[in-house]
A and B are shown apart, each in its own frame.
Chain A
Amino acid sequence: MTSARIIYCHCAYAQVVPPEVKQEVLRQLAESGTAFDAVADLCEMSARRDPGLKALAAEGGVKIAACYARAVRGLFIAADAPLPADGVEILNMRTDSAEQVIAALLTVGGKPIAPSANGAQILQEQK
Chain B
Amino acid sequence: MKQAVTAAPVLRIALYEGAGSQPLAGAARAELLRALLEKGYAVTCVKPGAPVSSIFTGELLVLGQFDEEKPAEAEAADGKLALHFRQITGLDTSAVLDLVEQVRETANAAKPGGWKPWFPVIDYDRCTNCMQCLSFCLFDVYGVNTGGRITVQKSHNCKTDCPACSRVCPEVAILFPKYKSGPINGDVVKAEDMQREKMKVDISALLGGDIYAALKTRSADAKVRFSKERDEKRALEERKRCLTKLQQALDIPAEVMASLPSLEQIQSKAAAARAVAVD
Question: A39 to B42, Cβ gap below 8 A?
Answer: yes
Given A12-B40, A38-B33: A115 touches B185 (CB 8 Å cut-off): no
Question: B23 to A119, Cβ gap below 8 A?
Answer: yes
What is the interface size of chain B, counting residues whose CB is below 8 A from a CB of the partner?
59
Question: A5 to B121, Cβ gap below 8 A?
Answer: no
Query: Any chain B CB within 8 A of the CB of A111?
Result: no
| Alpha-carbon distance A42/B44, docked complex (angstroms) | 14
A-B contact count (CB 8 A): 177
Question: A75 to B50, Cβ gap below 8 A?
Answer: no
Question: A52 to B12, Cβ gap below 8 A?
Answer: yes
* Chain A positions within 8 Å of B115 at CB level: 13, 44
Which residues from 142 to 187 on chain B have a C-beta closer than 8 Å to any C-beta of chain A?
Answer: 152, 155-156, 175, 177-180, 182, 185-187
* Chain B positions within 8 Å of A126 at CB level: none
Residue of B23, B46, B49, B57 with most chain A CB atoms under a 10 A cut-off: B49
Question: A69 to B152, Cβ gap below 8 A?
Answer: no
Residue of B nearest to A28 (CB): B30
Query: Any chain A CB within 8 A of the CB of B71?
Result: no
Which residues from 4 to 19 on chain A have a C-beta closer than 8 Å to any C-beta of chain B?
Answer: 4-5, 7, 10-14, 16
* Chain A positions within 8 Å of B90 at CB level: none
Question: B42 to A52, Cβ gap below 8 A?
Answer: yes
**Binary contact readout B93-137 vs A (1 if CB under 8 angstroms, 0 otherwise):** 000000000000000000011011111011110000000000000
Question: A31 to B47, Cβ gap below 8 A?
Answer: no
* Chain A positions within 8 Å of B112 at CB level: 40, 44
Query: Any chain A CB within 8 A of the CB of B5?
Result: yes
Given A27-B30, A31-B30: A38 touches B185 (CB 8 Å cut-off): no
Question: A75 to B177, Cβ gap below 8 A?
Answer: yes
Q: Min CB distance, A72 to chain B, in Å?
A: 8
| Alpha-carbon distance A37/B41, docked complex (angstroms) | 11
Question: A1 to B49, Cβ gap below 8 A?
Answer: yes
Q: Is the interface of A mostly helix, strand, loop or mixed?
A: mixed
Query: Any chain B CB within 8 A of the CB of A74?
Result: yes
Query: Any chain B CB within 8 A of the CB of A21?
Result: no
| Alpha-carbon distance A77/B177, docked complex (angstroms) | 13
| Alpha-carbon distance A23/B38, docked complex (angstroms) | 11
Question: B185 to A94, Cβ gap below 8 A?
Answer: yes
Query: Any chain A CB within 8 A of the CB of B223?
Result: no
* Chain B positions within 8 Å of A16 at CB level: 177-180, 185
* Chain A positions within 8 Å of B57 at CB level: 51
Residue of B23, B47, B123 with most chain A CB atoms under a 10 A cut-off: B47
- Give the interface of B toward A (CB within 8 A): 5, 10, 12, 17-18, 23, 26-27, 29-30, 33-34, 36-58, 112-113, 115-119, 121-124, 152, 155-156, 175, 177-180, 182, 185-188
Report, nearest first, the 8 A-B pairs whose CB atoms are least far apart: A71-B186, A68-B186, A120-B49, A35-B50, A31-B26, A30-B30, A74-B121, A71-B177
Question: What are 19 residue pairs bridging A and B, where the CB atoms are less than 8 Å apart in the complex?
Answer: A5-B52, A12-B40, A16-B185, A34-B50, A36-B44, A40-B40, A43-B117, A43-B178, A44-B40, A45-B42, A52-B42, A59-B51, A67-B185, A68-B175, A68-B187, A70-B188, A74-B175, A74-B186, A119-B47
Q: A30-B33, A43-B119, A77-B122 are in contact. List 16 more A-B contacts (CB 8 A).
A: A5-B51, A7-B53, A13-B178, A27-B30, A31-B30, A35-B46, A35-B50, A36-B52, A40-B40, A40-B41, A43-B118, A43-B178, A51-B58, A68-B186, A71-B121, A120-B47
